[in-house]
Structure 1
Amino acid sequence: MNSEIFSREIIVPQSAIDARGHVNNLVYLEWCLEVAEAHWETKANTDLKKKFAWYVLHHSIDYKASVFEGEQLKVETWIANYKGAKCERLYKIIRLTDQKIIIEAKTDWCLVNANTLRPSKITEEISTLFV
């Protein structure tokens, strides 16, 4: 699947810093989830947002470098593939000053009917939102 890359830039706030003086590992996951949700919110119309929701099945993150308060980052996400009700979304967080990849991550999502919370097949209407 040739999915567009959706991205947001952030400046690392003090609230993201842990006791070791760098970004807490859980914050990276939060940033990934936030950009994924923003991607859906930007692309899906009101009707789709009322009918469907996305639930996380699995996360994996590879940490490659540390980041510190005040650094500028770009958080990127795109759809790698989908089948049935499942979707694989990939992420990169890149430090803008040197283009260093800070993390690479993957989340497996499941599309569910917002009323029944049962898995729902990803339709062509939904899949084409991200191409």
Structure 2
Amino acid sequence: MNKKIFSFRITITEDILDILDHVNNVHYLQWVQNAAQKHWNILSTPDLNCKYVWIVLRHEIDYLRAAKLDDKITISTWVEDIYGVKSERIVEIKKESKLIARAKTTWCLLDKKSMKPVRIPSEIIKIFKTV
């Protein structure tokens, strides 16, 4: 699948550090969630938001390096695969060109009225692909 990549940058602040002066792992998960939400908000339409909602089924995060105070971090995300009611989203967190963490999240699309899983329609598949 040709993918649309969304990225944003943050600077590490003292309030998110743990006792080792590294970013606390809870914040990585928050970045993963934020990246997915921001990306969806850019690509979706009001009509899609009225019909559907995404829920998380699984997160996997590999921590490769520590992020520290004042580091400038780039968070990038894309949808890697779509099948049935599920999609797999990747989030990469980098300092300069070095990968510091990588996450894979399995999402499930729900019908907003019934709150039951629904096969991902072609109109959603298209918005995650590049032309």
* TM-score interval for Structure 1 and Structure 2 normalised by the shorter chain: over 0.9
Is 1:91–2:91 an aligned residue pair? yes
Aligned length: 129
Q: Any runs of at least 4 consecutive aligned residues in structure 1 with deviations exceeding 2 A, and if so which?
A: none
CA displacement 1:24-63 (0-9 Å, x = unmatched): 0111110011010000011100110111110000000111
Unaligned runs of 5+ in 1: none
Deviates more, 1:105-114 or 1:8-17: 8-17
Partner of 2:9: 9
Cα RMSD (Å) of the superposition?
A: 0.8
Is 1:21–2:21 an aligned residue pair? yes
Counterpart of 2:78, as a letter, is: W
1:15-94 aligned within 5 A = 15-94=15-94
Name the TM-score, length of structure 2 as normaliser. Answer: 0.95
User: What's the offset of the Cα at 1:115?
Assistant: 1.6
In 1, Cα distance between equivalents of 2:69 and 2:115: 39
Q: Identity of counterpart residues, as a percentage?
A: 36
Name the TM-score, length of structure 1 as normaliser. Answer: 0.95
Counterpart of 2:108, as a letter, is: C
In 2, Cα distance between equivalents of 1:109 and 1:4: 17
For the Cα contact (< 8 Å) 2:35–2:91, is it kept in 1?
no
User: What's the offset of the Cα at 1:116?
Assistant: 1.3
Partner of 1:107: 105
User: What's the offset of the Cα at 1:12?
Assistant: 1.1
User: What's the offset of the Cα at 1:125?
Assistant: 0.4
Counterpart of 2:114, as a letter, is: T
Partner of 1:94, secondary structure, is strand
